[in-house]
Amino acid sequence: MRGGWVGMEFLPINLPNIGEAEKRAVERVVESGRLTDSSYGGGPMVREFESKAGKLLKAKHVIAVNSGTAALHSVLLALGIKEGDEVVLPSFTFVATANVVLACGARPVFVDIKEDYNIDPGKFKRAVTSRTRAVIPVHIYGFPADMDEVRETAAPRSIHVIEDAAESLGAEYKGRQTGTLSDAGCFSLYGTKVATSGEGGAISTQSDELADRLRLVRNHGMLHGYDSRHLGFNYRLPELGAAVASVQMDRLSGFLKSRRRNAAALNGSLGRVDGARFTQVSDDRTHVFYLYTLYLRKGRDRIMKRLNAAGIGAAVYFKTPVHKTPLYQRLGYSKKSLGRTEASSSHVLSLPVHPRLTSEDMGRISDEFIKAAKGIL
Ligand SMILES: Cc1ncc(COP(=O)(O)O)c(C=O)c1O
């Protein structure tokens, strides 16, 4: 049962995929009585998850934390981002990407996106000043950003590159996993993500030194207990969550196969709908379809309403770009104008493609979309 009501099952935009293996893993942790471990290296389930994620990503180090937000904040702290520094990022993202910059006392500098909704590397280059210390490309909806172009600007200027890979676990850019194309990659294991631990996150890095500092940051800067040597917080992933995440690593490739099959079904049936465009395509990268998102020429909100009434959980990510939220307006971003970002916020619509949908469900989603768009697009 996936939710809904008699006669018309509601198909949500995303659903966690938790099965018997996860249940057994949770039971084992409960029976062990070891729910957490505040040592530098973490408990057995945390270490098991980190090892599996490291293999999957081909990353030297993976550090588990308790959210994607904690992952991003930890990396900024470990890199020493502070007051007076500027961090460049897209505004077309979840607010966490920007909030962690504020939390370090630094200034977020928002730049516009390309047609694929990812950071425009040319706009990043133009936003660089003598205070720029880092850039955060976000692989939005699970589609990799233009990493080579971002690094081309960042490397000669010693600007740190931090990937917000919260939505892109498993996506590849030129044959390499997102999250491993920079100083550090930050993943989210939130309940609706492509793999989950309920709440949770992870950081990947190739640097021994950064990995060491990140392990300190997630544990109040302590190495042996009560010996804080770096600013940190309690960003530890509980053992119960780590046990779930560990099983999800085994299942990830199956999840992604289903997402890709479902997305291909929508591309096949909606590809020729006039006024609806799928724009995240490139030969040199793969999409994990955390979200399958169309750009609708007009009438987005009316089409979404019709779809929701027909039991299809179509949804908008992100209706308000970060620089237009009340908090950032108050912080002085009220005059900032980012053309493509703002247009995308008014025109994008995501349709369900998660692995628990059947081929009949996918047929129903395309039929309802075509019906909903009639007379509007
Ligand atoms: C692009 C992006 N960045 C950061 C986050 C923050 O992750 P979390 O919710 O696990 O803190 C999310 C997910 O919510 C996200 O989608």
Round to whole Å and give the CA distance between 135 and 144: 15
- Under DSSP, the state recorded for 134 is E
> Which of 139, 262, 261, 141 has the alpha carbon at shortest distance from 204?
139
Q: Is the dihedral of CA 225, 77, 318, 286 positive or negative?
A: negative
Measured in residues, the chain has a length of 377
235 CA distance to ligand 1 centroid (A)? 15
The CATH number linked to 221 is 3.40.640.10
CB 91 less than 6 A from any atom of ligand 1? no
Spatial contact of 221 and 43, defined as CB atoms under 8 Å apart: no
Residue range 300-317, pLDDT digits in tens: 999 999 999 999 999 999
281 CA distance to ligand 1 centroid (A)? 23
Round to whole Å and give the CA distance between 46 and 187: 15
pLDDT band for 3, please (50, 70, 90 cuts). Answer: low
Q: Is 198 exposed, middle or buried (0-12, 13-18, 19+ CB in 10 A)?
A: middle
> Which of 26, 50, 40, 16 has the alpha carbon at shortest distance from 232?
40
Total domains in the fold of the chain: 2
Angle at 249 between CA 98 and CA 29, to 5 degrees: 100
Q: Are residues 238 and 284 in the same domain?
A: no
pLDDT band for 335, please (50, 70, 90 cuts). Answer: confident
Which is the closest atom of ligand 1 to the Cα of 167?
16
pTM of the model: 0.97
Round to whole Å and give the CA distance between 68 and 258: 24
Q: Are residues 359 and 216 in the same domain?
A: no
Q: What is the number of other CB atoms lying within 10 angstroms of the CB of residue 300?
A: 22
Q: Are residues 57 and 87 in the same domain?
A: yes
Q: Are residues 261 and 230 in the same domain?
A: no
Residue 110 has which token pair?
Answer: 């928002």
* pLDDT at residue 5 greater than cutoff 60: no
Mutate to test the pocket of ligand 1, among 69, 73, 100, 162 (most ligand atoms within 8 A of CB): 69
* pLDDT at residue 1 greater than cutoff 70: no
Average the pLDDT over 1-26 and give the result: 83
- Under DSSP, the state recorded for 165 is -
Residue range 342-355, pLDDT digits in tens: 999 999 999 999 99
Q: Are residues 225 and 90 in the same domain?
A: yes
161 CA distance to ligand 1 centroid (A)? 17
Q: Are residues 256 and 282 in the same domain?
A: yes
Residue 26 has which token pair?
Answer: 């949770």
CB 68 less than 6 A from any atom of ligand 1? yes
Residue 26 belongs to what domain range? 20-248
Average the pLDDT over 145-163 and give the result: 98
Q: Are residues 257 and 285 in the same domain?
A: yes
CB 142 less than 6 A from any atom of ligand 1? no
Q: Are residues 125 and 169 in the same domain?
A: yes
